Amino acid sequence: MKKNPFLSQQRNLNLAYEELDHITKLLLRRDIMLTEANIKLEKKNRELESARQEFLRTSEYLTNLLAHSPDAIWVLDNEGRVTVFNRTAEEITGYRSEEIMGRTIDFIFFEAQRYRDLIKLLPVQGSYRNLRTRIRRNNGDLSELLISISLLREEGEKGRPIGSITMSKSITREIRLEKALCEANEKLEEKVRQRTSDLEVLSQTLMIRNQVSTVASQSLELDTLLNNILRLVLELTGFNMGAISTFEARDMISVRVHVNIPEKLLERMQRLEKGDSIIGRATDDQTLQVARINFAEINEPGEYLVVAVPLQAKGKIQGVMSLFSTLNHEVLGEEREMLLAIGVQAGWAIENAWLYKQVREDVVKLREVDRVKTDFIATISHELRTPLTSIIGFLRYAEIGIKKHDHTKLSRYIQVALENGQKLAHMIEDLLAMQKLESNTLRLNIEPVVLSELLEEITEDLGPLLQAKGQELILEMPEVLPPLAADREQLERVLTNLINNAVKFSEGAGTITIAVHYEAGPAEFVITVKDTGIGMSQEVQDMIFERFYQAESMLTRRISGVGLGLTIAKQIVEMHGGSMRVESEKDKGSCFTIILPAVSSASQTTNGGDQHGL
């Protein structure tokens, strides 16, 4: 059958359309794939750009990190050449980066071969941490470094090695600080050792001072105290001999206590004066004195170490402790301080002993004063009561006589009352005079005094008293005497008191002789009042010028008085620059002697002074 060409053509055309459709689909799919590929490519480009930007930021960060790192950093390639050298590395080494880049760096190391060996073994070791080494800086100085080296690989831990990175920091300052710290520690340890030694010495000193204090508190008797202190010091310090000295008149040394001192050496010490001895120097300078002296007076003559320790308290020297030793050693600072401390402690102990002695003496004096006061009150009460009673009694008799118009006895009663009133006045006058003398308010009115006239007046005034007892008064004096510079009223009181005593203490008829002599040589007057009375023993003579002496036994005596007359007289004479003494023998009379300078040393009366007696 014959094929239809039109059908065949139509079929081919359909096939072509189908093929074209297929191709169109393929092209459409390709366009879709290209679009997707473009989208992915754009995404990749964005990722790459982001990665590039991150890389740039990281690179910049790392560059800044390298530049500003406090550690020195350099990077080496596999050939050992420097590829990175940061600013800190420049500062540490003293080299600029352009001087180092592309070169090996081992030349800066003090031990260059050691560094090369470290780099050579780095692939095996992987890294090194905190190695101490030294480099030679560009200026030639050596610097201590602490370095850490790490291996650089291409990719991760398994990659091909591509070089190394070294991080280092200078430890020169730390080493210096460490050295300074070591030196400071050594000094501190030395100070601790010294302080420990000082504390041991102080502890020993305190122990010794405590022992000295204990001994010093065991007694307040001075000699016992000094002896105990000296023996303790010798025992504690190891000295062979010792003595404690004080000073007597004219700067002579007096050895108060001593231990083991030979007699001849003791005699030599007693003859010493302050100025020519180590003891005197210790006293004058108030410092411890050390010397080596040859002694021939000792049983084993030779050179001895002598130490003089001042014993002081309240800024004054109480004495000196001398220590002797045959030991061949120096008295160093610690021992000096200890001995000086003992000296101060002993000085205070001596001061306390002196105070105790003074207090004890003051207590005795106060008891004596209290006893005298008691006796004085009893005596004064008796002496005042007796004339007062007499005055009152006779005045009552006078009153009765007046009422009875009995004028015969009235005059006698009034006379007796007057005499007793005068006795009271004299007693009160003596008390007032004593008070002025003790309070230093008495002022002398010095004037020329004619002794002959004064004695004649006194004799005339005492005439009735002498006649009443049948006693004779004899005056012995040259016809011509120079005037005496004295207080006339006070001198009259003195002479009247002596003559009155001579009259009172002479029983019955007797003779009282007043003699005046002028010695031109010393320009002084000698006045004696001598009686033939009852006299006195030596014991009484020693006490006669003391206040209230007669008051002690007055209650059992028939002679009145308060025992102040002679005390007042003697003090008045002494105020004139003179003196008074007594010579007597029991039952053979007494002789009082007054010596007065022709020109008195007493001051003239000034305003406010009392010119008219006591």
224, 159: one domain:
no
- My answer on whether 134 and 234 are in the same domain is no
* Whole-angstrom distance, CA of residue 123 vs CA of residue 121: 6
Q: How far apart are CA 362 and CA 356, in angstroms?
A: 10
For residues 299 and 163, membership in a common domain is answered with: no
Question: Of 306, 326, 342, which residue is a domain's last?
Answer: 342
Strand partners, 485: 448
Is there a single domain that holds both residue 217 and residue 149? no
User: Residue 432 forms beta bridges with which residues?
Assistant: none
In a shared domain, residues 591 and 473? yes
Q: What is the CATH number of the domain that holds 555?
A: 3.30.565.10
**3-state secondary structure (DSSP) of residue 191:** helix
CATH code of the domain covering residue 226: 3.30.450.40
Whether 468 is in a domain gets the answer yes
Q: Are 422 and 464 in contact (CB under 8 A)?
A: no
Decide: helix, strand or coil at residue 322: strand
Q: How far from 300 is each of 239, 240, 295, 326, 386, CA to CA, in Å?
A: 15, 12, 9, 10, 79
Q: What is the pLDDT of residue 505?
A: 81
What is the number of helices (H) and of strands (E) in the chain?
16, 17
| 463 lies in some domain | yes
Rounded CA-CA distance 254/271 in Å is: 9
Hey, what are 20's tokens?
A: 């074209």
SS3 326: coil
Model pLDDT for residues 40-90, shown as the tens digit of each residue? 888 888 888 887 787 677 667 766 777 778 889 999 998 889 999 998 999
| Position 91 in a domain | yes
Q: How many CB atoms lie within 10 A of CB 363?
A: 10
Q: What is the pLDDT of residue 556?
A: 34
Q: What is the DSSP letter of 257?
A: E
The reported pTM is 0.41
Orientation of helix 172-216 relative to helix 333-403, angle to 10°: 40
From CA 83, how far away is CA 614, in angstroms rounded?
A: 125
The residues pairing with 519 across neighbouring beta strands, listed in sequence order, are 524
From the list 381, 485, 477, 376, the residue with the least C-alpha distance to 424 is 381
Mode of pairing for the β-strands spanning 447-449 and 484-486: antiparallel
CB atoms within 10 A of CB 212: 21
CB half-sphere exposure, 388, CA atoms < 13 A: 8
Q: Is 439 helix (H, G, I), strand (E, B) or coil?
A: coil
β-bridge partners, 205: none
Tell me: do 463 and 593 sit in the same domain: yes
Q: Which two tokens stand for residue 424?
A: 């009271």
State which amino acid sits at residue 273.
E
Residues of the domain holding 506:
442-597
What is the DSSP annotation of 274-286? GGGSHHHHHHHH-
Residue 217, domain member (yes or no): yes
Centroid of chain to Cα 298: 39
Count the neighbouring beta carbons within 10 Å of the beta carbon of residue 72: 22
- Beta carbons of 351 and 313 less than 8 angstroms apart: yes
Residues 262 and 156 in one domain: no
d(Cα 510, Cα 499) in Å, to the nearest integer?
13
Residue type, 73: I
d(CA 236, CA 114): 67
For 296-333, b/e burial (b = at least 16 CB within 10 A) is eebeeeeebbbbbbbbbbeeebbbbbbbbbeeeeebee
Query: Which ranges of the chain have pLDDT less than 50?
Result: 551-558, 603-614
Q: Residue 486 in contact with residue 446, Cβ under 8 Å?
A: yes
Q: Is residue 233 part of a domain?
A: yes
**In sequence order, what are the residues at sequence separation of 6 or more whose Cβ sits closer than 8 angstroms to the Cβ of residue 435?**
none
Residue 90 included in any domain: yes
Please count the other Cβ atoms lying within 10 Å of the Cβ belonging to residue 390: 17
By CB atoms closer than 10 A (0-12, 13-18, 19+), residue 495 is buried
The verdict on 460 and 540 lying in the same domain is yes
Report the domain count for the chain.
Answer: 3
Q: Assess whether 228 and 327 both reside in one domain.
A: yes
Q: Is 226 inside any structural domain? A: yes
Q: Which helix (H) or strand (E) holds 73?
A: strand 72-77
Looking at the structure, tell me whether residues 124 and 228 fall in a common domain: no
Do residue 146 and residue 259 come from a single domain? no
- DSSP-derived 3-state class of residue 149: strand
Q: What is the CATH number of the domain that holds 107?
A: 3.30.450.20
Helix ranges, 238-332 (H): 263-271, 278-285
Q: Residue 339: what residue type?
A: L
N- to C-terminal Cα separation, the chain: 204
**Residue 194: inside a domain, yes or no?**
no
Task: Please check whether residues 454 and 590 belong to one and the same domain.
Answer: yes
